[in-house]
Amino acid sequence: MDNNGSSTKLEDVVQQVYIAAPPAKVWEAVATSEGIAAWFMPNDFQAELGHVFHLEAGPFGKSRCEVIELNPPNRLAFTWDKDWTVTFQLEETAGGTNFTLTHGGWDENTATSFGEKHAVVRERMAGGWVGIVKKLAEYAGQ
């Protein structure tokens, strides 16, 4: 809430995709360092609750993350940088997995640790996640 009592929270970025692979195979792609590096960013991830890891965010440097939820092979959540939470939800369906990515923690009055307003970065990431999730589907569905 800002001083006028109105919310400054921005809507979560949500991307969903069907992956033609069982949840266990998709889990390997989203909950291992090698898997995450193949479709997202280089990292030192470990599937351990409370594990602090870093995403290699190119020109933005290393971003600190921490595993805050771990429920194999259905759900993984981690903090990203100082404000965000990213959640991977896997649901088994006939012949594959419905994958939902949620990137939350956006606030129009907040800037990232690299000095850009959330509203600007959110729009960039909303578009970026489309291609990233497609890349995950291609990688995990092989």
Q: Which amino acid is at 126?
A: A
Closest by CA to 100, choosing from 34, 7, 17, is 17
Q: What confidence tens digit (pLDDT) does each residue in 48-103 have?
A: 999 999 999 888 789 999 999 999 999 999 999 999 999 999 999 999 999 999 99
Q: What confidence tens digit (pLDDT) does each residue in 12-46 have?
A: 999 999 999 999 999 999 999 999 999 999 999 99
- The CA distances from residue 37 to 4, 11, 27, 56, 110, in Å, are 43, 27, 14, 9, 28
pTM for this predicted structure: 0.92
